[in-house]
Homo-oligomer: A and B are copies of this chain.
Amino acid sequence: MTYCVGLLLNAGMVFLADTRTNAGIDNIATYRKQFVFCEPGERIIVIQTAGSLSVTQTVIAKLTEAIEDPESGPDSSILQAPTMLRVAEMVGQTLSDVSADISAKVSRMTQAASASMIVGGQRRGGAQRLFMLYPEGNFIEATEDTPYLQIGEHKYGKPILDRVVTPDTSLEDARKVALLSMDSTLRSNLSVGMPLDLLVVHRDACAIAEQTRIEAGDADFLAMSEAWSSALRDSFKAVP
């Protein structure tokens, strides 16, 4: 399982992903699920992934190959695509192709291989945009009304997002709410696990403002988690 969240705010964007993957409960490993493609000042594209690792790794590998191919153009390299909408379409198409290809192979085992993704970013002169791609490759976009998108084990971490996040939320608060939303998910679902990958992007900078891997046992994260638990218990006592 996985939990990834992306927030689209007036001040910028915040992305947070866990790193635990598992095949059954006795085969657990750490894999990055957050990928950044950036030409600083020019454009930044962040992709977060959930679902079958064989699908998501192949999608990221194909996107990377296309970027590195000297013959690639605006139709094949997401770093040359004219708009973020086009980027979402290209990632969606790759996801759909890879997923169909792998599913055909594994269907003999009556399994399906699928994945979903969060794609967000900005290109110089364009707007910040954030998309959630379904396994079929189609997608929805974050809006002012719902300025965040989640993939994977999304339910435990949703109540805090619903209550706190608006487009005017500061990046500092957004960073905090993303971590608290992850904290609730970590507590309730063992298949979501540390370390975490956190990425903060300032609006119009088209560059990484902060990129942190938060390891298990990170003192700040533990302190925040502990403070949130006691604040919640205090809040609980305060409610009439």
Interface residues of A (CB under 8 A from B): 155-156, 158-160, 162-164, 173, 176-177, 180, 184, 187-188, 223-224, 227-229, 231-236, 238-240
Contact B239 A188 (CB under 8 A): no
Residues of B within 8 A of A233 (CB): 163-164
Can you report 21 residue pairs joining A to B where beta carbons are below 8 Å apart? A155-B188, A156-B156, A156-B159, A158-B188, A159-B159, A159-B187, A162-B188, A163-B232, A163-B233, A163-B236, A173-B236, A176-B236, A180-B239, A224-B240, A227-B238, A227-B240, A228-B239, A231-B234, A231-B235, A231-B236, A235-B235
List 18 additional contacts besides A156-B159, A160-B232; criterion CB under 8 Å.
Answer: A155-B155, A155-B156, A156-B156, A159-B184, A159-B188, A160-B236, A162-B188, A163-B229, A163-B236, A164-B236, A177-B236, A180-B239, A224-B239, A227-B239, A227-B240, A228-B239, A231-B234, A231-B236
